[in-house]
Amino acid sequence: MYNPVHDGIAKTVQQVSYQEAQPPSFLAELVHNFWELKTAAELADDFSLHAIPDACVNILLNQRDTRIAGVTALRTTYQTLNLGREFHYVGIQFFPGVWQGAQSDTTDSYVGTPYLGNLPLISTSNALTELDFCAKQPVLSRLVQQLIKQGLVAVNPVTAKILAKIERMHTVADMAATTHMSPRQLQRILKKSTGFSPHDFLKVIRLQQSFQQHYLNSYTDQSHFIHSFRKITGYTPTAYYRKFDV
């Protein structure tokens, strides 16, 4: 099962909490988790979240200003997000390929940006504000069910097959064979459903797998691993583990 790590939170930062919860079983093929990231008190300095790629689309809801929400865009390298000194975000993380909406509907500028789309994100965020994290989860589940009815969220058979055998995915040829497609077919379908080329998709899931198992299970050698890890995260593995809570 694909289990990406959460974004980088520096170990030196106090008064910032992150928690996640598994979705109900009827959404388990679609949703990796529900999550919450917030400050317990105003911080002395602005907080930077080190977001690393995981091929997952997130719905993000700002609980301090419910006008601010969005569907996060996919990236192949890290992004540093300045969240300020006080914040409270709640979100839904979908498995790769599950989001069926147009890639143009996603955005990289959701921090501080009012939501102007047609999804019921603001009304959902308003319904969540007075609830604790446990009580928020049924509301988030209902939002997912609405998105299913609209055809915006669905199981992606191509990415599901790849992720089901993720330990065996070492090359694009492995991915093509697993999905019973030619490399060209895989290129077309994966690009349409995720915005990633097969090569970029492989780079991202292989990086995520390196957090779960020995790197030599995914990379040819240590040099290859360090080069790829640094290119995607901005840090060597040693520096990343020293700085961030993983």
Could you tell me which residues come within 8 angstroms of residue 218 by beta carbon, excluding any fewer than 6 positions away? 170, 206, 209, 210, 225
CB-neighbour burial class of residue 88 (10 A; exposed 0-12, middle 13-18, buried 19+): middle
Token digits of residue 41: 């008190």
Assign 111 a pLDDT band (cuts: 50, 70, 90).
low
The pLDDT value recorded for residue 170 is 86
pLDDT for 65 equals 95
The predicted-structure confidence for 83-96, as pLDDT tens digits, reads as follows 999 999 999 999 99
> CB under 8 Å to 219, separation ≥6 — which residues?
206, 210, 225, 228
Domain ranges of the chain: 9-149, 157-245
**3 state DSSP class of 71:** strand
Architecture of domain 157-245: Orthogonal Bundle (1.10)
The pTM is what?
Answer: 0.94
Tabulate helix, strand, coil % of the chain (nearest 5): 40, 20, 40
166-198 per-position pLDDT tens digit: 888 889 999 999 999 999 999 999 998 888 999
Q: Provide φ and ψ at 134, rounded to 5°.
A: -60, -45
Instruction: Tell me which amino acid residue 239 is.
Output: A
pLDDT of res. 186? 95
- For residue 160 the two structure tokens come to 């599901």
Rg for the chain, CA atoms, rounded: 18
Identify the bridge partners of residue 38 per DSSP, sorted by sequence position: 17, 88
SS3 192: helix
145-165 confidence digits (pLDDT tens): 999 999 999 999 999 999 999
